[in-house]
Structures are given as C-alpha cells and as structure tokens.
Amino acid sequence: MRANFPGDHPMYKRAVLVSILLVFALAPMQAQQRPPQAPPPPPPAREQAVPARENGAHRTYEVATEADARISQTSHTIRLNGQDIKYTATAGTLPIRQPNGEIAARMFFVAYTRDDQDVKTRPISFLYNGGPGSSTVFLHMGAFSPVRVEMQGDGMQPAPPYHLVPNEDSLIGSTDLVFIDAISTGYSRTVAGVDPKQFHGVNGDFRAFADFIQAYLDKYNRWPSPKFLIGESYGTIRSAGLSRVLQERGVELNGIVLISSLLTYQTLRPSPQNDIAYIDFVPTYAATAWFHKKLSSDLESGPVKAVVDQARTFAFGEYAQALMKGNTLSTADRQAIAQKLSHLIGISPQYIQEANLRVDPARFRKELLRDERLTVGRLDSRFTGVDRDAAGEREEYDPSDTALTGAYTATFLNYIKNDLKWSSDDIHYAVSGDVRPWSWDEFQNRYMDMTEPLRATMARNPFLKIMVACGYYDMATPLGGAEYNFSHMGWDPTFTSRVTFHYYQSGHMIYVRPAPHKALASDIDHFIDTNKTGTTAQ
C-alpha cells in the first residue's frame, strides 16, 4: 500500500523496517561530486588495551587481524522479471582509521554490483540493521540481496537444514547494494589495542559508518553514483544522524529509506510527563485487536486500514486532549474516553480506567488475549505465545522473536564461506554484538532524538527524499510514532512534501512474508528509480 504523508493530520527485530534520502544540493550534477579535500577528522578515539568474552575477572574482545583485510570477489547471475542480470559479489573489510591514520577497526561488508552498468549513473545503496548491536544478516539474507533464506509462507523458519533460494524481490535490478555490519557485530571488529567502546554509542557509530562509506566511495570509484541509505529499526535513527555527518563531509544523498522507522525514543517510552508514547501506540493496538477479532462487528467487518484510520483520528484528537488534562479530567469525561478507547483496542473499559487511561505496550500485549491465556508479540503482534501463568503483568518472551535467527545465521555462514569465498578463522559471526552499555553521548539525560539532524540535512539538500515503511502490527516501532516524528520535523511544506509513507500488512520485519516483501521491494525500486537523478525538488 502507498500513501502520501497527509499534511492535514498527524501520522506516523530486530530487527524485523526504514530507510532514507538525500540528493545533491543546489548543484545537481553528480558527476561533479568529489570527495572533500580535507574532511573533518573523526572525534578522538580512546586508545587503550581492552580487557565480549568472560575470562575469569577479565573481558577479552575479539580483534581484527591483517588476514581479515582480504577481499573476495565472485561472479553470479540472477533472473529478475524475465531478464538475466550478471553481478559481482564483493565480500571483505575496509579499515576505519584513527585521526593519526592508524587502523582502529575493520568493518565487514558484502556488496553486490551489477556488471553491465556505468558506475557514474548506477545508484548505490548502503544497508544495515539496527539494535543497536544487530548485524545486518536480516536485511541481507531476508530482504534485498540476490539470494534469501527459504522460509515458510507465514514467515516462520522451516525445519533444518535451511536453504538459500534466488530472491525475486532483490533490489539488484535498480541499485547496487552494500550490506554493512556495525563494529562488534557480524565480522566487524576493532584491531588489537583499540577499545571498541568508542564505537558503542550514537556518535561513535555515526563516525564509523561515515568513515566506511567514504572509504568505499574512494576504493570503488563511486563518488559520481546516486547514493541511498536503507536502514531498519535503530538503523533508521542511524540513517537520520548519519545523513547529517555525511553531508558535513561533502557526501550528499539522493534518498533515505526508513524501514520500521524510529527517530526518537520519546515515542516509545511513556512517563508521567510523556503522554505521546501512550497516544501513538493506539493505532497499532487497534490493528492488533482487529487481527485477533477482539473488536465489535462494525470494526471487524472493514479492512485494517479503516480501523487504523479511525484509531489515529481518535488518538491524536479527543484522546490526546483528554490525556493533556492530566488529573484535571472530569469523572464523566474519564469514563467516556475509557469507553471509546475500549471500543477501538479491545481492552475492557474497567482495565483502561484502572490504568489511568494510559495502557502501556507491554501491558497491552499481556492483557488483550488474557482470557485465552495467550500473549501477543512485540515485533509482530499477530504472533501469540503462552506464558507460565495468565495473571502476570507482562509477557515472559516475545513469540515473534524466535523464528529467524537460526535459519538466517546458518545459511549466511555457509553462503559467505562456500559461495562468496570469504571466511575468518579468528572471528565468529556475531548476529547480536556485545555493545552494551551503549553510550547516548549528549542525549544521556533526555530522549535521544534524530528528528532535527534529519531536518537540517533536508534543509541543506532541497532534493532529498524520504520513504517511510510501516507495518500495521509492529509494536517495536509503531506507525503512530513515525507519523508523529515527521509531523513535527520542520513546519514548512518543503519538508513534508518530500516524505512518502507506505503501510504493509506486516510486523517489524516487513519482508518475512511474501506479499508485504514484494510490495516493499516494489516501493523501494520505484523510490530509487524516481529519485536517482536529483533534477527536481518537490
């Protein structure tokens, strides 16, 4: 489904999505873009021996070695839309350097480049998952590379052994692809004597990805290429902040795709002074209740979009006004709001009143199907689980978070070694890296928010376009939160007119089921194709 961002009212696994966009500022000729003569140096790195494995009283981190610097290139063919596409797969690492030029880390990547295209005009997209601390195995093996893991129709993993199949929804037809693992995830590691903690935080992470992208553009002569970022979940926060860092270094983007978008944690973390995090979950609650048939017949008889639209109008209108009144809300209005909210989200009015009209997401996941002794998933609220008891406050586990890791990891490790001819004897592939504690830097004592950096990037690049992809059943990054972010990012239509929202019958990882996967790939193909020239601003 596609829908342009509505200007007249607010909207909105791992990782499993965002997404991402900047074209070239007032001089639109990409062929003239060159690396800056003297890019700003990255922030100082803390150089010290690091005492993510327990060894007695010490922790020893795996480190990259000279052997991990090798590059492997292999040739392949995929048939898409009746056409044979020949491409080269490049697997390896690129160095991330200290201000003094010494290597601090090596970031692992796998790139897919079409053989019959001119790199001066061929779009290139940089892709990554989020976490923070997640490798990019999910977007790589599940979404957009020329191969993917063969899963069951409902997105669940099949019985082992697992298999790779050609990915008919790959983006290789419209863009070259570079899948990047954040430092301390995948095969990306610091070298001996360098503390990885400098990269385990908002600004250090931006720096590493910016350094990598600049190094890739240099090494593979891709400065003239139209450039896109495609991130999922925390990867959308990364894309927003990274776009500004890249722009400051002279790298302009054509577009950004935000899959399962999150720009600020304000939309996820409710508190007595933050009612927006209750408000923006209401549309997702309504979609979830609709799917599990917990709504009245007048709502169940229509499509999920109609239910979400009605819930959005109520949530950001009458409901928001009621919550803003706090404890000054009258008893009669309190009862009326509880009844209306109950009608939309399938939770009893009594429970809603006892929760002070503010239903926490974890409580909702436990309460909606409590009478059936079931909980609903966080990454995908269509999934259900069974807890030890039905009287608890929150679910014991996320039933939608158990279906992918084994299949994706096993197939990737076999694929990278035997098909792409790259392996490491010294480093294990970290699907989830040891990056805790994550440093929020200057955002430590307030909500981490990348809305303003993205707005600033768009202001300086009037050609930049953004595509936001939302799943109706995503309770990790709810669609209402994304809509709220963009309705508060700049007050001039020049910003909102360049943002397009797309909605899918999916959870957090839009691509795990065939129909939304195909729709997402088609939407991104169209987005890249229409924004690769950067000749007009809307």
Instruction: Clarify whether residues 169 and 71 are in a common domain.
Output: yes
Q: 495 and 372 in one domain?
A: no
Which of 54, 41, 15, 60 minimizes the C-alpha distance to 196? 60
41 Cβ partners below 8 Å, 6+ apart?
Answer: 99
pLDDT for 444: 57
At 76, list the tokens. Answer: 């392949």
- Give the chain's domain count: 2
Of the candidates 334, 350, 385, which is a domain's last residue?
385
Task: Mark whether 343 and 244 lie in a shared domain.
Answer: no
Judge if 355 and 318 occupy the same domain: yes
Nearest to 126 by CA among 56, 178, 202, 197: 178
Rounded Cα distance between 73 and 112, Å, is: 10
Q: Which residues of 123-144 are buried (b: 16+ CB within 10 A; e: fewer)?
A: bbbbbbbbbbbbbbbbbbbbbb
Same domain, 241 and 337: no
Q: Which residues contact 436 (CB under 8 A, 6 or more apart)?
A: 133, 200
Indicate whether 307 and 444 sit together in one domain: no
> 3-state DSSP call for residue 373?
coil
Are 322 and 262 within one domain?
no
Is 393 within a domain?
no
* Residue 17 tokens, joined: 């999505």
Domain match, 23 and 115 both: yes
Neighbouring-strand partners of residue 256 = 20, 466
Whether 181 is in a domain gets the answer yes
Amino acid identity of residue 392, one-letter, is G
In-domain check, residue 394: no
**d(C-alpha 16, C-alpha 185), whole Å:** 17
Residue 127 tokens read as: 């892709």
Cis omega before residue 6 (within 30°)?
no
Q: Do 83 and 188 share a domain, yes or no?
A: yes
C-beta separation of 494 from 21 below 8 A: no
The answer to whether 179 and 145 are in contact (CB under 8 A) is: yes
pLDDT of residue 64: 87
Dist CA 440 CA 231 (whole Å): 19
As a whole number of Å, the CA-based R_g of the chain is: 23
Helix (H, G, I), strand (E, B) or coil at 235: helix
The conformation of residue 27, written as its DSSP 8-state character, comes to S
* DSSP per-residue letters across 75-125: EEEEEETTEEEEEEEEEEEEEEE-TTS-EEEEEEEEEEEETTS-TTTS-EE
Domain termination site, one of 332, 354, 385: 385
Handedness of CA 420, 426, 429, 433 (dihedral sign): negative
- With respect to residue 401, please indicate whether it lies within any of the assigned structural domains: no
Asked if residue 396 belongs to a domain, the reply is: no
Whether residue 45 is found in the same domain as residue 96: yes
Confirm whether 88 is domain-assigned.
yes
For residue 161, is the peptide bond before it cis, meaning its omega torsion is within 30 degrees of 0?
Answer: yes
In a domain, 379, yes or no: yes
Say how far apart CA 98 and CA 119 lie, in whole Å: 29
CB 128, CB 179: distance < 8 Å: yes
Whether residue 318 is found in the same domain as residue 244:
no
HSE, CB side, 13 Å, CA atoms: give it for residue 375.
Answer: 26
Helix (H, G, I), strand (E, B) or coil at 201: strand
Do residues 275 and 195 both lie within one domain? no
- Mean pLDDT, 10 residues at a time, the chain of 538 residues: 40 34 33 35 31 40 82 97 96 95 96 94 97 95 96 83 95 98 97 94 96 97 97 97 97 98 92 94 98 97 97 98 96 98 98 97 96 94 91 86 81 96 90 91 74 95 97 97 93 89 97 96 98 66
Q: For residue 250, give both structure tokens.
A: 């002279």
d(CA 311, CA 302): 13
First to last CA, the chain: 22
Domain that holds residue 293: 270-385
CATH number at residue 76: 3.40.50.1820
Q: Would you call 13 helix, strand, or coil by DSSP?
A: coil
Q: Give the model's pLDDT for residue 69.
A: 84
C-alpha pair distances (Å), 339 with each of 152, 283, 316, 523: 40, 16, 16, 38
Q: Which residue has the tokens 């909207």?
A: 11
Say how far apart CA 188 and CA 191 lie, in whole Å: 10
- Residue 213: inside a domain: yes
To which H or E segment does residue 209 belong?
A: helix 202-219
Q: How far apart are CA 404 and CA 260, in angstroms?
A: 17
